[in-house]
A and B are shown apart, each in its own frame.
Chain A
Amino acid sequence: MGPKEPIARILSLNKSYRRGSQQIRVLEEISFEIAEGEFLALMGPSGSGKTTLLNLIAGIDRADSGAILVGGVDITSLSENELAGWRALNVGFIFQFYNLIPVLTAIENVELPLLLTGLSKKERMEHARAVLDLVGLSERIAHYPGQLSGGQQQRVAIARAVVTDPVILVADEPTGDLDRVSAQEVLSLMENLNRQLGKTIIMVTHDPRAAAKAHAVRTLEKGVLT
């Protein structure tokens, strides 16, 4: 499945942080589009602003100026509560360190985002089982994160990210904490999600092998897209 119409438009995005009296510019006049069904890799050296850009697109950080349109909605104009609701419906997150809730089992972690939908308990469990099956963990649904390997935890995190059928998946160094075999499994899984289910994926990575799975690679240098 090839790239289609733009699902996200980033227009003149600027972001800076204040450290003491110093203003540090992290992103400068970033503009680009992401097509629906695209698998985009964002690369660049540490401190180049990759994660900040990802966070802005995912609506978990605020830009100083510019606009981010996802599915036609300018998320920079949404209030905190509206943004939270928007994230619940439109974005799936995959983190480097999995970020599962340790007191919940695999299936409970996957069920978590579904609590914000109107689904019944039975429907939530059906959805959660289905995606855990999709990531090959149907035998591990009652395990706690501490009882799973890193690769398995990341697969649970991927299941949690896709269970609400979001518009885009954002992944921040999804293989950064995994051994080569587990990393390969996770990347294959993401590739399948993109190819078979048409999920738009934006992935921040340092790993050239991970970037090789993407349709397109954009590089950030000192906050500027090259």
Chain B
Amino acid sequence: MFAFKIILKNAFRHKTRTLLTIGSVVIALVAFGLLRTVVSAWYAGVAASSATRLVTRNSISLTFPLPLSYKDKIRQVKGVTDVSWGSWFGGIYINEKNFFANFAVEPRSYLKLYPEYIISPEQKSAFLSDRRGAVVGIKLAQRFGWKVGDLVTLKGTNYPVDLDFVIRAIYRGRDKSTDESQFFFHWDYLNESIKKAAPDRADEAGFFMESISGPLLAPSISSQIDAMFKNSLAETLTETEKSFQLSFISMTEALLMVIQLVSFVIIAIIMAVAANTMAMTVRERIGEYAILKTLGFGGPRIAGIILGESMVIVTAGCVLGIVLTYPAAHAFRAQLGAFFPVFNVSRRLFLFYAAASALVGLVAAVFPAWKAIKTPIAEGLRRLG
């Protein structure tokens, strides 16, 4: 208790320096937390993917369509329990700044395939019965202040059509990792509009989604589907939903690696800041440590006092960092929610904060403590005058 009193009093002896160090730790931890959350957000689609869902797309690229007729052949493959299809519409709401994911899907099979989208039975029924109806995620609805019954127009970019929609349903995610910022509507509505504006692009799907009877069947079913369309004009590539999501991430893998690297560089920087503070502190107090040694305090006790001070400073920064991560993440989400629809601060992150803080506190204290212990008492006393 007495030792803790000394540690606390020492820690706040130079208030400005200590507060600046705590501030550095807070800023670094919050920055670290946001970067790690960005990385997690990047993988949110992977986390939300199901092991019993496959995605079939054109083997050349996702931008190349597939004939709608493939759906009947795919449905015949043993182990496939349901098939849905869709097309990326890429529509713009008012202007390009209002980006969000929007696509056309076959509604009945799609909602069956994605039970994680929770919609009330009334709204679901209203959506299914209205060809111009659209379903939006709760976060997207909140972002634009949309309510059920509102009219929304999306300007086409992938297709030469502008589409008017009536919002018929607002879904919530079943899990924390479920994206609640999507906009989807009837594929038939898009197809009919295309038939008028660009008939050669009608009756094509951007991708097929299949549910399968068990995750272990995924490799064989994928191979069977792709084999059926081998040597056709539109060969397919079928993969699990997880692989499909990872293929998007692989395009930005270098960027993700940089973000991860920067997040760890931040920890190294706070180590340097805390170590500098502790080095200055010990240099100033080398005489006092000599007095303690004179009184009979051994090396481990002196090291304990220095380590304790380092830990107090870093722990204060860690606690404040945890407290401030939520509002920082909220502000981040408000600004960049369109790009990171699932931006949840994980509680596991705080365990990382604690571990990183303990490491920083320890590393920052090691060299100063060693110096305090190794400085001869007589030399330390001479520093006092």
Contact = CB atoms under 8 A, between A and B. Distances in A.
Contact of A97 (B294, B297, B299, B384): B384
Contacts of B292: 101, 112
A73 interface: no
Interface stretch (B136-144, B182-190, B374-382): B374-382
A112 B296 CA distance: 10
Given A101-B291, A103-B6, A103-B13, A85 B298 contact: yes
A84 B291 contact: no
A93 B294 contact: yes
Contacts of B9: 103-104
A85 B294 CA distance: 10
Nearest to A89: B296
A99 B287 contact: yes
A86 B296 CA distance: 7
A113 B287 contact: no
Contacts of A226: none
B296 A85 contact: yes
Contact of B10 (A60, A85, A103): A103
A70 to B, nearest CB: 14
B378 A88 contact: no
B298 A84 contact: yes
Interface in A122-144: none
A36 interface: no
A101 B381 CA distance: 13
Given A103-B6, A103-B10, A104-B6, A81 B384 contact: no
A103 B13 CA distance: 8
A60 B296 contact: no
B299 to A, nearest CB: 7
A219 interface: no
23 contacts: A52-B378, A55-B377, A61-B376, A61-B378, A80-B299, A84-B296, A84-B297, A87-B295, A88-B297, A96-B385, A99-B384, A101-B288, A101-B292, A103-B6, A103-B13, A104-B6, A112-B292, A113-B295, A115-B3, A116-B296, A121-B1, A121-B2, A160-B295
Interface of B: 1-3, 5-6, 9-10, 13, 287-288, 291-299, 376-378, 381, 384-385
Given A87-B296, A99-B291, 5 more contacts: A52-B378, A61-B378, A80-B298, A84-B299, A101-B292
